[in-house]
Structures are given as C-alpha cells and as structure tokens.
C-alpha cells in the first residue's frame, strides 16, 4: 500500500484545482446571495469573526447590492485562481469571501456543513500556491492528500458520532425507517416523498438498517482509502453515488459536494520513472 497521489504530476494538481473552482463557480452562480437581504435583520445573530463587526456595518453587509457585489467578487476571484500568476490570491480571496457568506448564513441559523470540505479546499490550494512553483513540481499531490484527508475525517466524525452518542439506532430495526418517513414528510428543500410509498415491512426495515450499519463502518474506516486501493474502490463505489443518491431520494439530504470531491480519489496520472520523460498525454 502507498499513499494516494504519491505519483501525482503537476497536471493532476491542475485538474483538481479546476474541479474545485468549477464546483464553486457553479454553486455561487446558482445561488442568489441577495435573498438574505429580505430577511429581517433582527433575526441575525453574528457568529465567528462577525461578532467583531459593529452592528451598523453588518446592516450594510446585508444589503442586497452589497451581497450581489460580494457574489460577483467571489466569481472573479475563482476565475483568477485559474491564472497561474494570481493563483494564491484567487484561491485565498475566494475562500475568504465564501467564508464570509457562510458566516452570514450561519447567523440566520442556516448551517451548510456540506460545503465545509469544499471551502477548506480553496484554502488548501491557496496556501500551497504560496509555497511556490518548486513545490508544485516536487509534491503536486500534497494538497490533494490534505483535501481527501479532510473529506475522510468528515465521514469519520459522522460515523463516530452515531456510534458514541446514538448507538441504539444501529440495532433498532425501525430507526432507519423512521428517519426516512420523517424526512419524507418534512417540507425540505428537495421535496422528495418516496419514503411513504415504499412497501414497508420487517424485511425492508431490516435492509434499510443493514445499509445504515454498512455505511457507518465505511465512514469510520474512511481514512483507509488514503492508502488502500481496494478499500478506496469499495468506499467510493458505495458512498459516492448509492449512498448520497439514496439520501436525496429517501431523506431529502444531499451532500453532492462530498460526492463530487470523491472524484479526487481517482489517480489520474503517474510520474515517469527516473531518467525517463513523462508521457505528455498523462493527466
């Protein structure tokens, strides 16, 4: 076993950077940040670094025109991240603007924790860009390993939390069925209502519960995917599409950002052996 992306090339790093930038451009372009201006300011409770900002300034930051300008600046900075001379500025600047937007959302009680690893990826790429071109040649796979480690750790936290704080859900054959039915009836964002139409009974309840146990084990063992190619394929095969898609259709929960980041588990290129030129088609 060897660490993932140990043989990565600079082309691999460029591909990963473009993937993250395009994901954020898509998310930012699709979301109307100015909608926050329609919420009453009295509902806003500053969090994190926003606690240091005077209330009158926060009122300005929550104006529709200011929010729209921030959204536009985030897109511009993301595009700059694709340009080598301003790569660090683009990644770190976009990360700061997007983190500011996340803090505004949290202030209104909206926690987009599915975006956390994708947000961290901007800072990882930005800090690595500050290290200079030499490190892009010597260790192009390093930032990918860090991002995948963060992604794996996020799954570990979910699995460990479930085992330590709610172990009963792993043995109660009605737990998963209850979650599915509850989230199907809630007026959530996606609006899927497939859960109540399923032919629920002891067999289906046990199958759903078995799936929860399997997913919990995979979540806790997620870091193994950083070293083991066999486990990596198993982890991605179960978690990337089947798990996240079933959560969407049955529970109206969709961490598509994590699913997209799992593309980084594919090692798209390998370094040429010493003394041989790298294949220009690789990566």
Q: What is the pLDDT of residue 87?
A: 96
Q: Does residue 31 carry a pLDDT above 80?
A: yes
Q: Can you tell me the mean pLDDT for 222-235?
A: 95
Q: Which two tokens stand for residue 226?
A: 């950083």
Q: Which two tokens stand for residue 68?
A: 């729209």
DSSP states of 80-134: HTTSGGGHHHHHHHHHHHHHHHHHHHHHTT---GGGHHHHHHHHHHHHHHHT-HH
Q: What is the pLDDT of residues 90-138, one digit of tens each?
A: 999 999 999 999 999 999 887 777 889 999 999 999 999 999 889 999 9
CA 35 remoteness from chain centre: 23
Q: Which two tokens stand for residue 196?
A: 């109540």
What pLDDT band is residue 268 in, cutting at 50, 70 and 90? low
| DSSP state for residue 7 in the 8-state scheme | T
Q: Can you tell me the mean pLDDT for 12-34?
A: 95
Q: What is the pLDDT of residue 154?
A: 94
SS3 letters across 44-91? CCCCHHHHHCCHHHHHHHCCHHHHHHHHHHHHHHHHHCCCHHHHHHHH
Distance CA 14, CA 82 (A): 9
State the pTM of this model.
0.89
When the pLDDT of each residue in the chain is averaged and rounded to a whole number, the result is: 89
If one counts every other C-beta atom within 10 angstroms of the C-beta of residue 98, the result is: 22
Distance CA 119, CA 159 (A): 22
| DSSP state for residue 243 in the 8-state scheme | I
CB–CB of 9/271 below 8 Å? yes
Q: Can you tell me the mean pLDDT for 211-240?
A: 94
Q: Can you tell me the mean pLDDT for 57-86?
A: 95
Nearest to 99 by CA among 81, 83, 112, 85: 112
Give alpha helix (H) positions in 131-267. Answer: 133-138, 142-165, 175-185, 202-220, 229-238, 244-251, 256-261
φ/ψ (deg, to 5) at 47? -125, 160
Q: What is the pLDDT of residue 77?
A: 98
| DSSP state for residue 239 in the 8-state scheme | I
Burial class (CB in 10 A: 0-12, 13-18, 19+), 282: middle
Three-state DSSP at 283 gives coil
For CA atoms 83, 84, 85, 88, the dihedral sign is: positive
Q: What is the pLDDT of residues 155-203, one digit of tens each?
A: 999 999 999 988 888 888 888 888 888 888 875 677 788 888 888 888 9
What pLDDT band is residue 26 in, cutting at 50, 70 and 90? very high
Q: For the ranges 4-13, 229-238, 250-259, 270-279, which has the lowest average pLDDT?
A: 270-279
Q: What is the pLDDT of residue 187?
A: 58
What pLDDT band is residue 273 in, cutting at 50, 70 and 90? low
What pLDDT band is residue 278 in, cutting at 50, 70 and 90? very low
Q: 């009605």: which residue's tokens?
A: 174
Distance CA 200, CA 206 (A): 10
Q: Can you tell me the mean pLDDT for 250-276?
A: 78
Q: 């900075």: which residue's tokens?
A: 77
Q: What is the pLDDT of residue 270?
A: 60
């Amino acid at each position: 076993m060897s660490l993932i992306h140990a043989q990565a090339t600079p082309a691999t790093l460029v591909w990963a950077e473009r993937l993250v930038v395009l994901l954020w451009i898509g998310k930012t372009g699709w979301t109307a940040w100015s909608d926050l201006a329609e919420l009453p300011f009295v509902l806003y409770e500053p969090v994190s670094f926003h606690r240091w900002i005077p209330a009158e300034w926060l009122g300005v930051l929550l104006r529709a025109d200011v929010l729209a300008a921030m959204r536009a600046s985030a897109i511009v900075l993301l595009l700059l991240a694709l340009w080598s001379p301003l790569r660090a500025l683009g990644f770190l600047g976009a990360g700061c603007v997007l983190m500011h937007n996340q803090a505004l959302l949290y202030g209104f009680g909206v926690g987009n924790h599915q975006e956390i690893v994708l947000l961290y990826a901007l800072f990882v790429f930005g800090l690595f860009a500050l290290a200079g071109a030499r490190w892009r040649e010597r260790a192009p796979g390093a930032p990918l390993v860090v991002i995948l480690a963060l992604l794996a750790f996020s799954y570990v936290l979910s699995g460990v939390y479930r085992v330590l704080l709610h172990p009963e859900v792993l043995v109660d054959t009605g737990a998963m069925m209850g979650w599915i039915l509850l989230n199907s009836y809630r007026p959530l964002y996606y609006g899927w209502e497939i859960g109540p139409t399923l032919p629920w009974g002891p067999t289906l309840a046990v199958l759903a519960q078995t799936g929860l146990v399997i997913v919990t084990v995979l979540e806790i063992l997620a870091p193994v995917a950083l070293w083991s190619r066999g486990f990596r394929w198993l982890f991605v095969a179960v978690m990337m599409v089947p798990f996240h898609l079933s959560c969407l259709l049955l529970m109206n929960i969709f961490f598509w950002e994590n699913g997209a980041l799992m593309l980084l588990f594919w090692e798209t290129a390998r370094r040429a052996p010493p003394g041989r030129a790298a294949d220009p088609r690789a990566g």
